[in-house]
Amino acid sequence: MTHSVDFETMEHDPRDPNPWLALYLDHSIPVDPEVKKAWLKDSSSRCRQFVLPIVRPFARGFIMLMQLVKTVLPDSLTSSWLLHRVLSWGLRTFVTREANWLILRHFHIGSEILDFIARNVADTKVPLNPLRPANLADVRDDLFLKQSSQIDLAQRKQTLRDLYTKWYENASWLFRSGPYLIFAATWVAAALIPL
């Protein structure tokens, strides 16, 4: 049995307000309407409401058990091949169509952001390996591992630090000292306000 939600035709009930409808009608945060609809449809499912609170403690307990095993045997149970097969099966079996669409969309957006940085920031050496999975079968090809290696945090921080150093060295003295002047002026203004 599927739980179908249509936020467009849903009526507001003041005696029992629907928080998901309120979030759908809220336009204060600019989110793509299709993304918002998929996210809220998935979040408002009966499974999430009733099954997740029961399953969550067991899942956390299993994670803690695996962490203890990995502490004792650090080099065992490290099969990327098996991990991605289990992830692919779990996404196909237990995850809604909307949530899977959001997960695959996440990979596309990450690739677009890295591509934008590489094209628009001068003197960058951002290696590109675009991840644009078309379906859940692409998850089996070490997709999550490729994303982790693509977004290597240490390499990104070094690239950004190099860019900031070049920018800072070329900035004028007024631009470099501006934040300090604003901070000092704020403290002086705060000290002059009578209590």
pLDDT digits (tens, 9 = 90+) for 60-85: 999 999 889 888 888 877 778 888 88
Q: Other CB atoms closer than 10 Å to residue 135's CB: what's the count? A: 9
Q: Which pLDDT score, from 0 to 100, does residue 26 have?
A: 84
Q: Choose from 18-27, 38-47, 155-164, 166-175 the range with maximum mean pLDDT.
A: 38-47
Listed by start position, the domains of the chain span 79-151
Q: What is the dihedral of CA 147, 35, 52, 134, to 10 degrees?
A: -40
User: What is the spatial distance between Cα 190 and Cα 195, in angstroms, rounded to a whole number?
Assistant: 10
Report residue 37's pLDDT band, with 50, 70 and 90 as the boundaries: confident
Across the range 165-177, mean pLDDT stands at 68
> What predicted TM-score, i.e. pTM, was given to this entire model?
0.64
User: Is residue 151 over pLDDT 80?
Assistant: no
Q: Which of 16-20, 149-153, 178-182 has the lowest mean pLDDT?
A: 149-153
Q: Which pLDDT score, from 0 to 100, does residue 47 have?
A: 87
Sign of the dihedral defined by the CA atoms of residues 105, 111, 112, 114, in that order: positive
User: What is the spatial distance between Cα 88 and Cα 138, in angstroms, rounded to a whole number?
Assistant: 8
Give the pLDDT confidence of 87-132 residue by residue, as tens digits: 889 889 988 899 999 988 988 888 888 778 777 766 666 666 677 8
User: Is residue 20 over pLDDT 70?
Assistant: yes
